[in-house]
Amino acid sequence: MYTPICLEDYKKPLPPKPCEPGCQCRAPMVALNSDRHPLYNRVKTGQIPNCAMPCHNPYFTQDERTFTAFWIGLWSVLCFISTFATVATFLIDMERFKYPERPIIFLSACYMFVSIGYIVRLIAGHEKVACNREYDVEHIHYETTGPALCTVVFLLIYFFGMASSIWWVILSLTWFLAAGMKWGNEAIAGYSQYFHLAAWLIPSMKSIAVLALSSVDGDPVAGICYVGNQNLDNLRGFVLAPLVIYLFIGTMFLLAGFVSLFRIRSVIKQGGTKTDKLEKLMIRIGIFTVLYTVPATIIVACYFYEQHNRQSWEITHNCSCLLEQEVKRPDYAVFMLKYFMCLLVGITSGVWTWSGKTLESWRSFCTRCCWGSKEGRGMGFKCRKRVLFIRGNFDLSFKV
């Protein structure tokens, strides 16, 4: 049975549904946060378990929670380093990255901000971001706009995560236009404003909708604020469905581009021309495709696993009368795999810049900034002499 909540004018639903008759249940989403409640003192003193969803996931042990923080922190830092290097390479040599390659840079930039969201959680802590304390009872954020820190983490991870998926679709589209439709760099770049409009407007609308519906909630495993952690409808509508659509569209464009490249390769070979450069290009595109589509597919599979089994997990946790063989608990490895794959895409998104050209770009940049050309070194020597001359005159004037 559910025990009535003490808050006045409480209009939110009380999930999940009650268990079978005769089963002694607890409502995990409702905090016993009133001293007028007959069970409040017993909850506070530990005589019975807290009826609110705990701040930390109740299905995992303390050692697993500790490892979760380490696991997410490790990959978020590596993701930030990789994506920051990619974006910095683009900034020092913008002319090198033209369409259809340029969406890779924006995809990396999105994952850089996603990693920042996880790093904020790492610095602030699980409780500060995803949890709420009322009347000495700490529970997870549930369907709220969240405090400032919770909202910032949500926007960094959700907005830029969805934007990165759209940039993946745009990347596959530009590859198709270049390989299949024989469009040049300038022709594709002419539509860049529409690419940016789609990549930033669609995630903005979804993020605004989530905030307007007060659907931001805490993740009791990762300690972040996201959407769909407590509500399956939100998970399916705001997370799972968009990811499936983006992955499907992007994969279709990419496969069409590959087919066109194979045809071009066959025609060139028949003409007796070498295809070494084209084959290298196809290999690089293939590697990048695998490094994105495989993690993205695994992420979708993990979300399917979660939305399919979450209700049975909650019933198992809330109903103590279930038999041992009927107990269902989430697989800890699946959750760790999901967070790893979410950040792995960002780590490998810069694979396109891992080449000798990148080293040459950085060498040229360091030469310009630190050493410069022969003329620059001569000017630097003259500047140093002038500084020493001014300093000597200043010292002489000071003594006089």
Span 327-378, pLDDT tens digits: 577 899 999 999 999 998 888 877 777 777 778 888 887 887 776 544 444 4
Structure tokens at 160: 């830029």
Element (H or E) spanning 132, and its range?
A: strand 131-134
Element (H or E) spanning 196, and its range?
A: helix 192-212
What per-residue confidence (pLDDT) applies to 400? 35
Task: Quickly name the fold that domain 62-363 has.
Answer: Rhopdopsin 7-helix transmembrane proteins (1.20.1070)
Query: Is the model's pLDDT at 278 over the cut of 90?
Result: no
Q: How far apart are CA 160 and CA 200, in angstroms?
A: 9
Query: Is the model's pLDDT at 387 over the cut of 70?
Result: no
Q: Can you give the length of the chain in residues?
A: 400
Average confidence (pLDDT) over 40-59: 54
Share of the chain above pLDDT 70, in %: 68
Question: 113 near 63, Cβ under 8 Å?
Answer: no
Phi, psi of 21 (to 5 degrees): -55, 140
What per-residue confidence (pLDDT) applies to 260? 78
Whole-number Cα distances in Å, 80 to 68, 73, 86: 18, 11, 10
Query: Is the model's pLDDT at 136 over the cut of 90?
Result: no
What per-residue confidence (pLDDT) applies to 165? 93
Asked whether the whole model's pTM tops 0.85, one would answer no
Whole-number Cα distances in Å, 13 to 34, 230, 234, 264, 389: 19, 12, 14, 58, 78
Query: Is the model's pLDDT at 49 over the cut of 60?
Result: no
What per-residue confidence (pLDDT) applies to 334? 93
Higher pLDDT, 348 or 398: 348
Average confidence (pLDDT) over 43-49: 40
DSSP assignment, residue 53? P
Average confidence (pLDDT) over 90-106: 84
What per-residue confidence (pLDDT) applies to 135? 47
What per-residue confidence (pLDDT) applies to 138? 62
Average confidence (pLDDT) over 377-391: 45
H, E, C per residue of 306-324 = HHHHHHHHHHHHHECCCCH
Residues 6+ apart with CB under 8 A from 92: 361, 362, 365
Q: What is the pLDDT of residues 191-218, one digit of tens each?
A: 999 999 999 999 999 999 999 998 898 8
Question: 288 near 273, Cβ under 8 Å?
Answer: no
